[in-house]
Structure 1
Amino acid sequence: MGKVDTLLSTWEDYSQVIGMADGNLRQGFQLLTEIRQGILELKTRLAENPTIGSEIRAMVEELDILAATEEFKFNRGDYLH
Structure 2
Amino acid sequence: MRINTTEQITSIAKQSQATKAPKRAADGFHNLLSQELELQTKSATEAVLPPGTHSLAFDPRLNADQMEAGQKAVDPKQVADKLEGLLDKWEKYSTQISTQGSPDLKGAFGTLKELAHSLTTLKQSAPSLQAEFPELDNVRNELEVMTVTEQFKLNRGDYLV
Same fold (TM over 0.5): yes
Amino acid at match of 2:140: V
Instruction: List gaps (5 residues or longer) in structure 1.
Output: none
1:3 matches 2:82 = yes
Residues 46, 52 of structure 1: 8 Å contact kept: no
Q: What is the CA distance between 1:8 and its match in structure 2?
A: 0.6
Write out per-residue CA displacement over residues 15-72 of structure 1, whole angstroms, 9 at most, x where no aligned residue.
Answer: 1110112221111100011110111111112205666410000110011111110000
1:61 matches 2:141 = yes
Write the distance in 1 (CA, Å) between the matches of 2:120 and 2:145: 12
Any runs of at least 4 consecutive aligned residues in structure 1 with deviations exceeding 2 A, and if so which?
48-52
- Work out which structure has the larger RCO, using CA pairs closer than 8 Å and 6 or more positions apart in sequence: 1
Equivalent residue for 2:103, pick from 19, 23, 29:
23
The count of corresponding residues between Structure 1 and Structure 2 is: 81
1:78 matches 2:147 = no
- Worse-matched range after superposition: 10-19 or 39-48: 39-48
What SS does the corresponding residue of 1:79 show, helix, strand or coil?
coil
Write the distance in 1 (CA, Å) between the matches of 2:129 and 2:116: 20
Q: TM-score, normalised by structure 1?
A: 0.89
1:42 matches 2:122 = yes
Write the distance in 2 (CA, Å) between the matches of 1:30 and 1:70: 12
Residues 116, 147 of structure 2: 8 Å contact kept: yes
Q: Greater CA radius of gyration, 1 or 2?
A: 2
> 1:80/1:3 Cα in 2 relative to 1: closer, same or farther (>3 Å)?
same
What SS does the corresponding residue of 2:110 show, helix, strand or coil?
helix
Write the distance in 2 (CA, Å) between the matches of 1:17 and 1:10: 11
